[in-house]
Amino acid sequence: MENKFPKGFLWGISTSSYQIEGGNSNSDWWQWEEKGKTQDKSGQACDYWNRWKKDHNLLSELGVNSFRLSLEWSRIELEEGKFSEENIQKYREILQDLKNRNIKTAVTFWHWTSPIWFQEKYGLHRKKSVEIFARYGQKIIDELGDLIDISVILNEPMMPLTSGYLKGKFPPGIRCPIRYKKAFNNLVEAYKIIYAYSKKKFPQTPVGITTLYNFFEPANKFNPIHKLIVWICKKFWNEAFFGKIKAQCDYYGLDYYFHHKLGLTGRKNENKKVSNVGWEIYPQGIYEVLKEIKAKYNLPIYVMENGLADANDKYRAEFIREHIKYMQKAIGEGADIRGYFHWSLMDNFEWLHGFKPRFGLVEINYKTLERRPRKSFYTYKEIISSNKI
């Protein structure tokens, strides 16, 4: 079997602004941390906001030809309708630097965080949020669109929607199915406006979202109840949001982390190997979900996130190799997979769990902010440079 990847395959790495930039005190998550809702406060995080040039050197060293990063809405729109030219200019510099290095940019417009003013005055559940959110998206396209190779308008919308509106764990901390449904619909509508606008201004730029698509399987595949549970989970979690916008997506952005083997009383995973946060390491699942996605949507696919918390770098190299092998198997069976973005470049602020889970190819010393590539960094580097596994 030819084990090279298609020419032009994107080898990348994924990050998000709030988790690495630091100092995002205008953001609703900052306020959330102040209220004591998270393990740690993000503070200066990795200080990417000031150290990005050096971090881009790490990208060059790794040899990636693409980088996924996100923009912080609360830095761009300081107050309602008042945009920061200075910060937009800074994002231009960041993106331009990637271009100069021949690194393609996959830019997430919204990786869960909103400005405090937005959350306080509107929130996604209010109708007016559609207009406000869409205006932010359009502003990005006007100001930065020429430097964006792939637009990721939303990151995993089901996470902030369910955690923020059903479980009360993310801002705005609500538990209300009615407001959940409103927020869901508003986000769908805002997405569609931004999509149309982007297509008008930059018809060539692929536009879409990422979905946290889990591999659900029945604990017993002959048990109709188990199968029903799996069917419901797929409908509610994997397919609900994407299903509403699939006609307005140029690609499928897959974030793969989870395998759930489901029975009547919950998860029945074997958990032979687990990461530091207890998530099962199950590489075969990426193959299964890629097959499902191909069959269901028949779109070009980018694996936009895949990674693990592994402070001692015990499993990461094998994790990367195994997932890429299974991805290659899906390509061999006709899935149109255009890129793989590992999560993440460096250890970062892992939302509710703070700094403890370490997802980085590069280790961060949070006292000195020193960066140190882990061994698996070189494993990934080798795969990229040879374009094969």
Closest approach of Cβ 342 to ligand BGC, in Å? 11
Write out the two tokens for 52. Answer: 């990005």
Write out the two tokens for 159. Answer: 């996470």
Helices (H), ranges, 24-171:
28-34, 48-62, 73-76, 85-100, 116-121, 128-144, 158-165
Closest approach of Cβ 69 to ligand BGC, in Å? 12
Nearer residue to ligand BGC within complex by CB, 217 or 255 = 255
Closest approach of Cβ 19 to ligand BGC, in Å? 6
Helices (H), ranges, the chain:
17-20, 28-34, 48-62, 73-76, 85-100, 116-121, 128-144, 158-165, 177-201, 224-233, 240-245, 284-297, 316-332, 375-386
Nearer residue to ligand BGC within complex by CB, 189 or 255 = 255
Closest approach of Cβ 170 to ligand BGC, in Å? 11
Closest approach of Cβ 222 to ligand BGC, in Å? 32
The answer to whether 306 and 330 have CB atoms below 8 angstroms apart is no
CB atoms within 10 A of CB 36: 8
Nearer residue to ligand BGC within complex by CB, 159 or 369 = 159
The answer to whether 306 and 281 have CB atoms below 8 angstroms apart is no
How far apart, in whole angstroms, are the C-alpha atoms of residue 122 and residue 244?
23
Nearer residue to ligand BGC within complex by CB, 156 or 189 = 156
The answer to whether 66 and 339 have CB atoms below 8 angstroms apart is yes
Nearer residue to ligand BGC within complex by CB, 19 or 186 = 19
Nearer residue to ligand BGC within complex by CB, 33 or 156 = 156
Closest approach of Cβ 184 to ligand BGC, in Å? 18
Nearer residue to ligand BGC within complex by CB, 193 or 311 = 311
Cβ density class 143-180: b for 16+ within 10 Å, e for less: bbbebbbbbbbbbbbbbbbbbbbeeebbbbbbeeeebb
Closest approach of Cβ 351 to ligand BGC, in Å? 6
Nearer residue to ligand BGC within complex by CB, 155 or 238 = 155
Write out the two tokens for 192. Answer: 């569609």
**Which single residue is written with the structure tokens 């960041």?**
94
The answer to whether 103 and 162 have CB atoms below 8 angstroms apart is no
Write out the two tokens for 144. Answer: 């930065």
Report how far Cα 149 is from the mean position of its chain's Cα atoms.
16
Residues that bind ligand BGC (CB under 6 A): 16, 19, 155-156, 212, 255, 305, 343, 350, 359
Write out the two tokens for 271. Answer: 């958990």
DSSP one-letter code for 248: G
